[in-house]
Amino acid sequence: MKKVFVSLFALAFVLVSAPAFSADIELAQKSTLETIVKAGKIRVGFESGYLPFEMTNTKGDYIGFDIDMGKQLARAMGVKYEPVNTAWDGIIPSLITNKFDILISGMTVTQERNLAINFTDPYIVVGQAILLNKKHEGKVKSYKDLNDPKYVITSKLGTTGEQAVKRMIPRATYKSFEVETEAVMEVIQGNADATVYDLPLIEIMQAQHGEGKTIALTEPFTYEPLAMAVRKGDPDFLNFLNNFIRQYKNDGRWQQAYDKWIKSNEWQKDLQN
């Protein structure tokens, strides 16, 4: 009797679990991961111009921290890397509508964005910093000192830099720009008092253009995890990407890229003027 009961239980388990197992197989077959492997290429979306993550050199080639990582991802999948340069204001809709397979573009994980797309584990953490016109040296020591209508602050439209200004420096006079370098040049040229943006860009712009004109307040005042983004409903692709990031960060390749693109400025000579 016991054997019969066990057999009936096993049969019932199979009958109940079979539909779920079938659904899992169907979900896996629909994964972007499978589409990429079958196509033999991975389409990577980004917006060129975010130093030092994605840029265009004098030869017209895309270079940067994210570009190198995307190429390593393609190599890990055994497929071709296909760059898709996309305007920032349409970059999330472009991902959702399958204009590319994955977004690797220095995008900060936010809850608002996470409602529309899924993020991997962070591959780097940066934060918002300040490039300050030199006339305020010694007077403005942190973002809190800029919280006054007399100060004009710039950043790029639709970024977490803009969000940080509106959330943490709400009383300041804010001006947005389509391109982050335009926001920076307003400060360098004396038309604005400060710009708020990700720390790597602030340090780069200070080194390139700021001598005698600006000072960099390099203590980040926000937490900014950058991650890859994919369409919702694709756990297999997310699993693969998170495992890739862990491997990439722990086998020396991440550190090599960090030293090349963030700690060094040798790449700057290859940029377009």
What is the CATH classification number for the domain harbouring 146? 3.40.190.10
CA 93 to chain centre: 15
Residues 218 and 262 in one domain: no
**How far is residue 236's CA from residue 242's CA, in Å, rounded to a whole number?**
10
Could you list the residue range(s) of the whole structural domain that residue 213 is in? 128-222
**How far is residue 72's CA from residue 195's CA, in Å, rounded to a whole number?**
33
Residues 45 and 171 in one domain: no
Kindly report the pTM of this predicted structure. 0.77
Residues 79 and 118 in one domain: yes
Residues 139 and 184 in one domain: yes
At residue 130, what is the residue type?
Answer: I
**How far is residue 66's CA from residue 7's CA, in Å, rounded to a whole number?**
55
Residues 112 and 245 in one domain: yes
Q: How many domains are there within the chain?
A: 3
Residues 196 and 150 in one domain: yes
pLDDT tens for each residue of the chain, 273 residues long: 444 444 555 555 555 555 544 555 565 667 999 999 999 999 999 999 988 999 999 999 999 999 999 999 999 999 999 999 999 999 999 999 999 999 999 999 999 999 999 999 999 998 999 999 999 999 999 999 999 999 999 999 999 999 999 999 999 999 999 999 899 999 999 999 999 999 988 988 888 888 899 999 989 999 999 999 999 999 999 999 999 999 999 999 999 999 999 888 788 888 855
